[in-house]
Amino acid sequence: MVNLMKYKIGFFILSILVILPGLFFLVTSGLKLGIDFTGGALLEYQFSKNPNIDDLKKYGIITNSGSNTYIIRTQVIDQNQLNDLRKSLTDKYGKIEVRREENVGPVIGAELKQKALTAILLACLMIVLYITYSFRKVPKPASSFRFGISAIVALIHDVLVVVGIFAILGKFLNVEVDTLFVTALLTVIGFSVHDTIVVFDRVRENLPKHLGEKFERVADISITQTLARSLNTSLTVIFVLLALLLFGGETIRWFVVALLVGIISGTYSSIFNATAVLCLWEEKLGH
């Protein structure tokens, strides 16, 4: 048996040290929102010959997305302006292939921002209710509600880590967040809770077998029994994400980075933070 829970305060301190830098930049600079949230046009063209990047910058923010392929982010433009822009690029660089031309109005952007926040909050609420109900038969004085809240604490930890990292990336590398980022966050939330439930379910099974023993010892036994499974599951996902990061292309790079950071954080928080919070809570109030 691995005695991890005696270091639970250390796990909390490590999490705080990881979260604080990102939280600082999140508060001072915020996230760099993409056109999905602010409104604007996203134009992706492949050029027959390599264009002058400095010249392209007069059209908007430029991102390389492949061989002679660039994404131009600019304000919302109408069809006439779009035709003029295409003509101007064709005159300068020859034939261009249109990969993508999307307009997002500021009203739609604001609506998406609100829906994204609502989706995340609703997911958290449903998780608490589901875990509280599913663990309702946990032996007293343990509380199923504490299991649910502890899972949410770990989930918030993972969200703060991912959002904080992207606040730093936005500040120094101009990385924008878009609807793919929200998708990544929701995926991380699901993964984090799934991993936490694996540990919590084993705690629930072990509590009747170790009646009278300290909750911390039961938690250590449960973590030891599930540690290999949790690490193996996470590593298989991480290997796939690393392959996507290396070979998946520019358009999904930051989506993959968000998932990668979230999965690593989720694995850590499920084993160390969620169980540590539950342990501390049960020992103070329940045992």
Residue 119 has, within 13 A of its CA and on its CB side, a CA count of 16
Phi, psi (degrees; rounded to nearest 5) at 124: -65, -45
Residue ranges of domains in the chain, CATH in brackets:
5-35+107-286 (1.20.1640.10), 40-104 (3.30.70.3400)
Residue 208 has, within 13 A of its CA and on its CB side, a CA count of 6
pLDDT > 70? residue 243: yes
Mean pLDDT of 130-140: 86
pLDDT digits (tens, 9 = 90+) for 24-60: 999 999 999 888 788 889 899 999 888 888 888 888 8
pLDDT > 70? residue 108: no
User: Which residues are CB-neighbours of 179 under 8 A, at least 6 positions away?
Assistant: 36, 112, 116
% residues pLDDT > 90 (the chain) = 46
pLDDT > 90? residue 260: yes
Residue with tokens 């295409």: 86
Describe the chain by its helix, strand, coil percentages, rounded to 5. 75, 10, 15
pLDDT > 60? residue 6: yes
3-state secondary structure of 137: coil
pLDDT > 70? residue 114: yes
Residue-level pLDDT at 194: 87
The total of other beta-carbon atoms located within 10 Å of residue 41's CB is: 21
Helices 106-134/144-173 angle, 10° precision: 150
User: Which residues are CB-neighbours of 75 under 8 A, at least 6 positions away?
Assistant: 40, 41, 60
Strands (E), the chain: 40-47, 61-66, 69-74, 96-104
Mean pLDDT of 13-27: 96
Residue-level pLDDT at 163: 96
pTM reported for the whole predicted model: 0.86
